[in-house]
Chain A
Amino acid sequence: MEKFQKLTSTYVPLPIENVDTDQIIPARFLKATTKEGFGDNLFADWRYEKDGSPKKDFVLNNPTYSGEILVAGKNFGSGSSREHAAWAIGGYGFRAVVSSFFADIFRNNALNNGILPVIVSADFLSEIFNSINKDPKATLTIDLESQTITNNATGKSESFEINPYKKECLLKGLDDIDYLLSKKDSIENYEKERTF
């Protein structure tokens, strides 16, 4: 897994609430057997016309906006458990998603793929949207070590929550399987001692 430490970047605004995993990556693209290539179909139905040409009014097709951070309305990633949603976001080139609320499974999946979900207050989120309305080249800085996110246009910062274990994993680029494999003995003991 790729490490995540500190990131300063312009960002892509998607001020829509309840963006579900069927929008992030529609089911018909889930037929692959590898993790690669999903970035091309990120938000496919919002992004492309039927004939495959880009929809002009969708933010990913607007050259004004770019960057490694996606900023979205509340309850991002609701719906299915498909990790393909995280692969699509990572495959497109995002390293962090900022929202005021995330669905649980999506958040886990993102963390397991080195993508940082940053939970901010509703006010901070609306300021981020305001800043980019004024200046499309506005930037955010996300510092995982100190757990802070800064809106560089206003200079305001906010701290965000992350589980200490997950934070370590991300800072060091380690994943859960490495950890669990190191616990083999405890698994066998558990199986032996279990009474039900």
Chain B
Amino acid sequence: MKTLFDKIWDAHTVSTVADGPTQLYIDRHFCHEVTSPQAFNGLRARGLNVLRPDRTTLTADHNTPTINQDQPVKDPISKNQLDTLSKNAKEFGLTLYALGHKKNGVVHIIGPENGYTQPGMTIVCGDSHTSTHGAFGSIAFGIGTSEVEMVLATQCILQSRPKTMRITFNGKLGKGVTAKDLALYMISKLTTGGATGYFVEYAGEAIRNMSMEERMTLCNLSIEMGARGGLIAPDETTFNYVKGREFAPKGEEWDKALAYWKTLKTDEGAKFDKELIFDAADIQPMITYGTNPGMGMGVNENIPTLEDIDEAGRISFQKSMDYMGFNPGENLEGKSIDYVFLGSCTNGRIEDFRAFTNFVKGKKKADNVTAWLVPGSWMVEQQIKDEGLYDILTAAGFELRQPGCSACLAMNDDKVPAGKYAVSTSNRNFEGRQGPGARTILAGPLVAAAAAVTGKITDPRTML
């Protein structure tokens, strides 16, 4: 009896080092401009080629501007990094979706939408949110640059086998509650280190009911509770999503793949190292109030007081309150905010834009809010236009920017100014993450939409 994780892991084990890690074969490798240049330098220094060039795909996303992408990138250091990516792609014979390419976009968005991401695969990228791809029932996790070099050179990686955890969400999510809320709720219960050392399988009715986009949002955030990754057994929802995408198997290959994918589930009675069960009906629309993603609460709840925090953690908690400009015990509903960011590999997919647009339809953007709406990829952008969402957004006073990571990590010009509050659908509220001094409140697309039209922290359910 095996868990889904065990099945995929064992199928990709090339060898096991005595008393040490597993040599794991990697099916799909993604690279972006920030964490790859030193790996390519390493290959050059050792005189090595890329072993299986067809298994690595490159995209430019972290550094890219979200306006005027047809013009040369202004920041010379960013430009150098982007040029280096292009140079490396050429020298090593790799596929690159560079700035301006119609398949360009955030790495964890373009993988699934082009059919690169498939059930049962091992997938890595020099980026912690690689866990996103676990939504398809694959083992997907972020790696460091030394490991990027390993995968380029050998298509393998050395990893110690993580422990397994299953988190079950019984029941249904309430109206106005999204996958992002479910994830923030879970992280607030587990804390940012609560799943460290584990690979998580998500199960239960609430997960089965999720679309692929929602599953990706959830798996994406697995890393924020320290997990190596999260995965969901593939089902009809998964197969329907993958079918027909450009790099998905076709014809006979599809039938063969599908037969295999259908075996990818945890056997009845298989043991996990840890099991947790939640009731989806308990979950409210969530926001974060602190400087790590574990500091989350229902949008109308109060921030914990100092007494609620254990002693060793009080210095960090107070530091985080000072940074955010909040008081312990405070309620944030009705608090004025300055920026709204819809985008990132967490919530930059078409469904997020649909949810946001439906909510703001017929309303107006609040005057005090600067809104950055950044599609995760050019394919998402095209869909926004094809489905008529663009016109609705424009009528409500919103503009669309060009795809990229943008304000998720503020490596480009999309920086929230010091002291300003941003309600952000991204994944990290660390100090300075959205710009030096920026104050990030993480939330789902509906809480973001409610904030964008009211200019305040608002429970979206009061406006549905």
Would you call A31 and B411 a contact (CB within 8 A)?
A: yes
Contacting A20 at CB < 8 Å: which of B17, B37, B430? B430
10 A–B contact pairs at CB < 8 A?
A23-B431, A31-B78, A31-B80, A34-B41, A80-B128, A84-B145, A105-B142, A180-B158, A186-B15, A196-B120
Residue among A50, A83, A175, A186 with the highest chain B CB neighbour number at 10 A: A83
Known contacts A17-B312, A35-B38, A75-B193; can you find 16 more A-B pairs with CB under 8 A? A17-B313, A18-B316, A22-B430, A27-B411, A78-B192, A80-B428, A81-B130, A83-B145, A109-B144, A109-B145, A112-B147, A165-B158, A180-B158, A183-B23, A184-B154, A187-B155
Interface residues of A in 29-43 (CB under 8 A from B): 30-35
Q: Is the CB of B144 within 8 A of A78?
A: no
The residues in A between 150 and 196 inclusive whose CB is less than 8 angstroms from any CB of B are 163-166, 175-177, 179-181, 183-184, 186-187, 190-191, 194, 196
Cβ contact within 8 Å between A177 and B19: no
- A168 shortest CB reach to chain B, Å: 8
Question: Which of A42-92 touch B at CB < 8 Å?
Answer: 45, 50, 73-75, 78-84, 86
Q: Is A28 an interface residue (CB 8 A)?
A: yes
A192 to chain B, nearest CB (A): 12
B153 and A27 within 8 A (CB): no
B420 CB to nearest A CB, Å: 15
B34–A31 contact, CB under 8 A? yes
B424, CB-defined interface residue at 8 Å:
no
Chain B 127-145 residues near chain A, CB threshold 8 A: 127-128, 130, 142-145
By beta carbon, the residue of chain A nearest B153 is: A177
| Complex-state Cα separation, A113 to B126, whole angstroms | 16
Residues of B within 8 A of A179 (CB): 17, 158
A180 touches B150 (CB 8 A): yes
- What distance in Å separates the Cβ of B333 from its nearest Cβ neighbour in chain A? 26
Out of A84, A104, A165, which one reaches B226, CB within 8 Å?
A: A104
A81→B77 contact, CB < 8 A:
no
Contact partner of A108 among B63, B80, B147, B149, CB < 8 A?
Answer: B147
B197 at the binding interface (Cβ < 8 Å): yes
Q: Decide if B316 touches A196 in the complex (CB within 8 Å).
A: no
Is B81 positioned at the interface, with any CB of A under 8 Å from its CB? yes
* Min distance, Cβ A80 to any Cβ of chain B, angstroms: 5
Q: How far is the CB of A124 from the nearest CB of chain B, in Å?
A: 13
Chain A CB within 8 A of B180 CB:
no
Q: Which of A81-117 contact B (CB under 8 A)?
A: 81-84, 86, 101-105, 108-109, 112-113
Report chain A residues within 8 Å CB of B63. 31
Q: Establish whether residues A105 and B143, one from each chain, have CB atoms under 8 Å apart when the complex forms.
A: yes
Residue in chain B with minimal CB distance to A113: B146
- Complex CA distance for A177 and B146, rounded to whole angstroms: 8
B156 in contact (CB, < 8 A): yes
9 closest A-B pairs by beta carbon, nearest first, are: A165-B20, A33-B37, A83-B144, A81-B142, A109-B144, A112-B146, A164-B19, A22-B430, A83-B145
Interface string of B74-111 (1 = CB under 8 A from A): 01011011001000000000000000000000000000
**A48 to B292 alpha-carbon distance, docked (Å):** 22
Q: Do B146 and A163 touch across chains, with their CB atoms under 8 A apart?
A: no
Q: Which of A17, A33, A80 contacts B38 (CB under 8 A)?
A: A33
Closest B residue to A110 by CB, please name it: B144
Asked whether any CB of chain A lies closer than 8 Å to the CB of B254, the reply is no
A-chain residues with CB within 8 Å of residue B146 when the two chains form the complex: 83, 109, 112-113, 175-177
Tell me if A26 is interfacial: C-beta within 8 Å of chain B.
yes
Tell me the complex Cα distance, A165–B155, Å.
Answer: 20
CA distance A23 to B316 in the complex (A): 13
- Given A16-B316, A27-B409, A190-B14 in contact, is the A22-B431 Cβ separation under 8 Å? yes
Known: A78-B193, A196-B11. A33 touches B84 (CB 8 A): yes
Docked-complex contact A17 and B316, CB < 8 angstroms: yes
